[in-house]
């Protein structure tokens, strides 16, 4: 029996992880569930999965959960705050940690799991975007096992020589090919993009995901964050990572070898496949995902991404090339800009404008510590918040581009 902590259990990935775990009660037990503030869903999950701990990042939500659990006579210990998340990620009785909190908030608990030598199923790409080198060092020092859950990186991991963390050239790899669906606005003109609303952007053509990653997918920032993630996971140079738009989302990514072979991983777009791969690794376990019918798919298409209409991908490559704290600035500016778009405070095309302006305005430093990265994250958030406040007196799109 292996005990699992799920960070972000109330989210899309968290719920799908619980779905896979429920298919293998003889193999996995739920040790801890952790989320931000959704008490009602956490209570339901506690009743169903009976974890030893439940953590709410928000202190008031933790207080409410405690009351509800007592009323239902459920013997679950409640913790709160980022310390609570880190505690259940590093607990000695835990073997597997699913890191599926959204955004920069996922960094410290994922780091705690790495330092404690856990098997980490990493869905929270922001951890590697913000702190790639420091996180990979912690994985090595803590002798943790790191398994990528992002479907693209999971596909690459599967198509790489097994367990190889050697330099790509030493294992005959030429290039990593990340596929992108292109999002719901692939064929849109610049004029049509100006009219995009949150409701429209929240409809992804192939995947069911949380709000932030769905918007990131539509702007291609998600692909940009994945380029940075791939750089650290596979020790790849930026020029060894190519992005190809593949609207069917059937090939989840590919690895190109020096002999001309390209290995791909295919499947229906359902995150339970990479989740089951991570939980079972090195074994294969059932996921509940319908097998892919190539006859039904019939055709697979590919095209180059358009970084003119979708500048977020270009901005991510530029942040990666700048190095140091630039990816952390990119990530923080993106999180605040996406939240502002979802609250209808800015237009869709303001998102890349705000990120670019933040990257151009803040100094890039060499990374020295997690504390420094957290400070840079705060500084970038404040910079965007100030730009947003200035918009209260000016037309939004103009302010973002000054």
Ligand X SMILES: NC(=O)c1ccc[n+]([C@@H]2O[C@H](COP(=O)([O-])OP(=O)(O)OC[C@H]3O[C@@H](n4cnc5c(N)ncnc54)[C@H](OP(=O)(O)O)[C@@H]3O)[C@@H](O)[C@H]2O)c1
Query: Where along the sequence are the contacts to ligand X (CB under 6 A)?
Result: 8-14, 35-38, 57, 85, 100-102, 105, 123-126, 150, 207, 209-213, 271
What's the closest the beta carbon of residue 204 comes to ligand X, in angstroms?
Answer: 9
Among residues 36 and 223, whose Cβ is nearest to ligand X?
A: 36
Eight-class DSSP state of 238? G
What's the closest the beta carbon of residue 109 comes to ligand X, in angstroms?
Answer: 8
Among residues 3 and 207, whose Cβ is nearest to ligand X?
A: 207
Question: Does 181 belong to an annotated binding site?
Answer: yes
- Between CA 192 and CA 183 the distance in angstroms is 14
Distances in Å between the Cα of 3 and the Cα atoms of 89, 143, 166, 393 are 11, 18, 30, 53
Q: What angle do CA 150, 169, 236 make, to 5 degrees?
A: 35
Helix, strand, coil percentages in the chain from 3-state DSSP, rounded to 5: 50, 15, 35
Among residues 175 and 334, whose Cβ is nearest to ligand X?
A: 334
Question: Does 152 belong to an annotated binding site?
Answer: yes
Question: Does 86 belong to an annotated binding site?
Answer: no
What's the closest the beta carbon of residue 166 comes to ligand X, in angstroms?
Answer: 26
Question: Does 204 belong to an annotated binding site?
Answer: yes
Question: Does 303 belong to an annotated binding site?
Answer: no
Look up residue 371 and give its two tokens.
């504390």
Eight-class DSSP state of 303? B
What's the closest the beta carbon of residue 12 comes to ligand X, in angstroms?
Answer: 4
282 cis-preceded (ω within 30 degrees of 0):
yes
What's the closest the beta carbon of residue 126 comes to ligand X, in angstroms?
Answer: 5
Beta-carbon contacts of 312 under 8 Å, excluding residues fewer than 6 positions away, are 216, 219, 220, 221, 224, 334, 351, 352, 355
Eight-class DSSP state of 169? G
Question: Does 318 belong to an annotated binding site?
Answer: no
Question: Does 217 belong to an annotated binding site?
Answer: yes
Tokens 């869905």, located at residue: 123
Q: Which residue is nearest to ligand X (CB)?
A: 11
Cite the annotated binding site for 1-deoxy-D-xylulose 5-phosphate by residue number: 125, 151-152, 181, 204, 217, 222-223, 226
Cite the annotated binding site by residue number: 10-11, 13, 124-126, 150-152, 181, 204, 210, 217, 222-223, 226
Cite the annotated binding site for NADPH by residue number: 10-11, 13, 124, 126, 210
Cite the annotated binding site for Mn(2+) by residue number: 150, 152, 226
């Amino acid at each position: 029996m292996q005990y699992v902590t799920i960070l972000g259990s109330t989210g899309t990935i968290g719920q799908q992880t619980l779905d896979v775990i429920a298919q293998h009660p003889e193999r996995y037990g739920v040790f801890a569930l952790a989320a931000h503030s959704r008490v009602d869903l956490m209570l339901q999950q506690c009743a169903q999965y009976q974890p030893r701990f439940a953590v709410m990042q928000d202190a008031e939500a933790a207080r409410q959960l405690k009351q509800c659990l007592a009323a239902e006579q459920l013997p679950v210990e409640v913790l709160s705050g980022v310390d609570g998340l880190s505690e259940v990620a590093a607990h000695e009785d835990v073997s597997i940690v699913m890191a599926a909190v959204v955004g920069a908030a996922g960094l410290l608990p994922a780091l705690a799991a790495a330092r404690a030598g856990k098997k980490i199923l990493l869905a929270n790409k922001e951890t590697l975007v913000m702190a790639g080198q420091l996180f990979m060092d912690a994985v090595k020092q803590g002798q943790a096992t790191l398994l990528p859950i992002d479907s693209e990186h999971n596909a690459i991991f599967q198509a790489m020589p097994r367990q190889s963390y050697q330099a790509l050239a030493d294992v005959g790899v030429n290039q990593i090919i990340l596929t992108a669906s292109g999002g719901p606005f692939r064929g849109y003109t610049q004029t049509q993009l100006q009219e995009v609303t949150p409701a429209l952007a929240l409809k992804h053509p192939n995947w069911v995901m949380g709000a932030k990653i769905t918007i990131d997918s539509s702007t291609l920032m998600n692909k940009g964050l994945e380029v940075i993630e791939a750089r650290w996971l596979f020790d790849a140079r930026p020029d060894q990572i190519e992005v190809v738009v593949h609207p069917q989302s059937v090939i989840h990514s590919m690895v190109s070898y020096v002999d001309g072979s390209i290995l791909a991983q295919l499947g229906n777009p359902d995150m339970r496949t990479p989740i089951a791969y991570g939980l079972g690794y090195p074994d294969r376990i059932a996921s509940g995902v319908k097998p892919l019918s190539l006859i039904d798919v019939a055709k697979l298409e590919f095209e180059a991404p358009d970084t003119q209409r979708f500048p977020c991908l270009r901005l991510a490559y530029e942040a990666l090339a700048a190095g140091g704290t630039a990816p952390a600035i990119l990530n923080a500016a993106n999180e605040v800009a996406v939240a502002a778009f979802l609250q209808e405070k800015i237009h869709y095309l303001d998102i890349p404008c705000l990120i670019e302006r933040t990257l151009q305005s803040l100094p890039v430093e060499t990374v020295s510590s997690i504390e420094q990265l957290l400070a840079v994250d705060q500084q970038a958030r404040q910079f965007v918040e100030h730009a947003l406040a200035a918009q209260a007196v000016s037309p939004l799109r103009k302010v973002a581009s000054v």
